[in-house]
Chain A
Amino acid sequence: MLELRRVSKRFVGVVATDDVTLEVKSGEVHALIGPNGAGKTTLISQISGTLPSDRGEIRFDGRDITHARPYERVKLGLARSYQITSIFKRFTVLDNLALAVQARSGSSFSFWRPVSRETALTDEARSIAGEVGLHEKQNALAATLAHGEQRALEVGLALATRPKLVLLDEPLAGMGPEEAQRMIALIDRIRSHVTVLLVEHDMDAVFRLANRISVLVNGRLIAGGAPETIKADEQVRKAYLGDEVAA
């Protein structure tokens, strides 16, 4: 579904991603792990189009999207969530989600009809709010939500675009154990209809969710495969997993 071929990005003096070749297959949860500064978020930004790649080719759903604008990629069914929460804080939860629904359904060059009267938008936003566990908070301003709820809205915004593949950049970042369990359950639910590329530090979550894992260190993929293979990989242990898994 998503193919990266020899994708690279270099910033002044730093190689962020180096010759990354990766395939995410339809229907899987593919985890991308690696130590801090390995280039995971850079890679996500290259895939979502906010950072242009220096070299390489990105194909999605059989199409070359290497030079497509971010919004064009979303229209093709490739959405992302952010590691650092990026929501519309002065909108209500429902308005956040309705905006994302609006972005893909019909033209937004409509200047006269009040959007609040478009019940189809609101209904769908409501159902997504329920899906991500924000049903009771749907009329709250996004800014007033607790951290975990904002994270849920963050993922909800990506899901509201009805993606075929969603890039989740550390969805569990900063979450308490209970919130984390809820997020893991959510990802587990959406995997039936959305392919997921998951960047995550929480190894427990990664090994519970992932069908396949790729390991990025210093911008390079050093290993990839089934979770058991990765757990057993000497190189990966040394570079990243350390004692956490060995114990």
Chain B
Amino acid sequence: MKRSILVFIVLLGFPLVMSAMDNLFYVSFASRVIIYAIAATSLNLVLGYGGMISFGHAAFVGAGAYVASICIAEGVTSAWLGWPAAIAASALAAWLIGAVSLRTRGVYFIMITLAFAQMAFYLVNSMKAYGGDEGLTLPQRAELGLGLDLGNEVVFYYVVLFLLAISLYGLHRVMQSRFGRVVVAIRENEARAEAIGLPVYRYKLVCFVIAGAVAGLAGALLASHGKYVNPNVLHWVQSGTLMIMVILGGVGHLWGGAIGAAVLLGLEHVISDYPIPWLAAVAPNYPQHANLGVGLVMLAIVLFAPHGVAGLLSRRRGA
């Protein structure tokens, strides 16, 4: 808890320092990392705590992004309408997809969630009214009112940081509640959980819907952040990226999703924007293949730190 507060204090100071240095790019970049942190944290609830290997989480991020974008495109610019609508749409999508997928297990569950997400991907691809495969450019970000201008990078940063804090605190509380205890128990031993009288399907579905709803919020933020949305936000690669974030950061760790998002996006940025001279001399195009570097780091994490970066940090502290 102490360390979490410390991290947030540093994050609160970050845009002040960057503004002083007149470097708003990094404030905007950090906002993007934080939004992905929210999305990855929501996946961690399902994947890490619930043990449900969902390979279709991008569908819920995408549903939220599209619903929020369509609201703005249609002139409903208030975040107080657009974001709850995005959350509701993603929760509904998660409920529908989960109700079917959660009747299967193991590889079948992975495949069926992937299939549903790809169906959603092709669905938005065919939505010609909202840009189809070219995507949808928004005239502005959502409006929050309260004297907060989301068009301002620093304000936007603080808003998404606030929402990340709520998400993490919420996850922390939920995992200590009766519901959280049940979710982990189902991950540990599903048959036994049912044999002591727990309707496991219902708990898994509710868990899946909560995660979908939070992913929807992340999607809405993502759309506002870039003032643009396109079908790639629902592509299976996006689901894979979120999974990699969770695994990198720490499966089933409170901060796992957030750390994973920071490491992955940070790494991508460093590799593609700061070419190493001698490497660039040998392979001039290598910064375009940032995924190779990400892959190597991923490999190292899986081999040497199977509990992710968060696991590494908490083990250090324990030692």
Contacts and interface: CB of A to CB of B under 8 A. Distances in A.
A119 interface: no
Contact of A110 (B177, B192, B194): B177
B177 to A, nearest CB: 5
Interface string A68-104: 0111001100011010001111110001000110111
B178 A108 contact: yes
B226 interface: no
B273 interface: no
A16 interface: no
B318 interface: no
A195 interface: no
Contacts of A160: 196
Nearest to B203: A108
Interface stretch (B102-110, B180-188, B211-219): B180-188
A103 B189 contact: no
Contact of B185 (A70, A91, A114): A91
B25 interface: no
A60 to B, nearest CB: 14
Q: Which of A89, A107, A112 has the most CB of B within 10 A?
A: A112
B177 A111 contact: yes
Contact of A69 (B178, B181, B193, B199): B199
Interface string B168-206: 000001101111111001001101111111111001001
A99 B193 CA distance: 9
A74 B188 CA distance: 19
Contacts of A79: 195-197
A113 B178 contact: yes
A158 B193 CA distance: 11
A100 B189 CA distance: 13
Nearest to B174: A111
Contact of B178 (A50, A110, A161): A110
Contacts of A89: 188-189
A87 B195 CA distance: 11
Given A75-B197, A95-B181, A103-B198, A87 B192 contact: yes
Given A88-B189, A108-B203, A115 B196 contact: no
Contacts of A112: 173-174, 177
Given A90-B188, A99-B181, A115 B195 contact: no
Contacts of B188: 88-91
A134 interface: no
A116 interface: yes
A106 B199 CA distance: 13
B196 A100 contact: yes
A176 to B, nearest CB: 24
A115 B176 contact: yes
Interface in A168-189: none
A150 interface: no
B211 to A, nearest CB: 13
B196 to A, nearest CB: 4
A209 interface: no
Interface in A91-145: 91, 95, 99-100, 102-104, 106-116, 118
Contacts of A114: 173, 176-177
B192 A157 contact: yes
B195 A48 contact: yes
Given A108-B198, A110-B177, A115-B177, A87 B182 contact: no
A171 to B, nearest CB: 15
Contacts of A110: 177-179
A70 B176 contact: no
A109 to B, nearest CB: 6
17 contacts: A50-B194, A70-B194, A71-B200, A74-B196, A88-B185, A88-B189, A89-B189, A100-B197, A103-B182, A108-B198, A111-B174, A111-B179, A111-B180, A112-B174, A112-B177, A157-B196, A160-B196
By Cβ-Cβ distance, the 5 closest A-B pairs, closest first, are A74-B197, A103-B197, A100-B196, A114-B176, A110-B178
Interface of B: 173-174, 176-182, 185, 188-189, 191-200, 203, 206
Interface of A: 48, 50, 69-71, 74-75, 79-80, 82, 86-91, 95, 99-100, 102-104, 106-116, 118, 157-158, 160-161
Given A111-B179, A112-B173, 6 more contacts: A48-B195, A88-B192, A108-B198, A109-B178, A114-B173, A157-B192
